[in-house]
Amino acid sequence: MAYNRTTWEDREVETPRTYTLENNPDGTVTLVSAEGTILAAGTPLNAANLNNLENGVLGLEASINQVNLNYIRQPGFGPALGNKDYTMSLSPKPTGYLGFLGNDSSAEHQPSKPNTKR
């Protein structure tokens, strides 16, 4: 399942971090928010949004694990069970090798000579 990104928006209020003090009958006090007008509601910080993040991380971890498993199965790196025999089929079949493999002596694949003219 594809990850559904959450675009987070800040909550904006007229007077942020402002409270009034209310005395309780038992001698304690309660801080009551006095933010004034809400200018922008913002994105709620709730279980649904946080679980979306968790599910995204789990999905990414599963994808990375699958990439790692496929990487280990590639020829030249040795399979997990220790068998070093490989069979490879190429389609279409190669008709020759390129110079970067070290067996092409044509001039176009030879290193260039440094320019000594000044």
Distance CA 15, CA 21 (A): 16
pTM over 0.85: no
- For the chain, first and last CA: distance in Å? 63
pLDDT tens, residue order, the chain (118 aa): 688 899 999 999 999 999 999 999 999 999 999 999 999 999 999 999 999 999 999 988 888 888 777 766 655 544 455 556 656 666 677 676 555 445 545 555 555 555 666 5
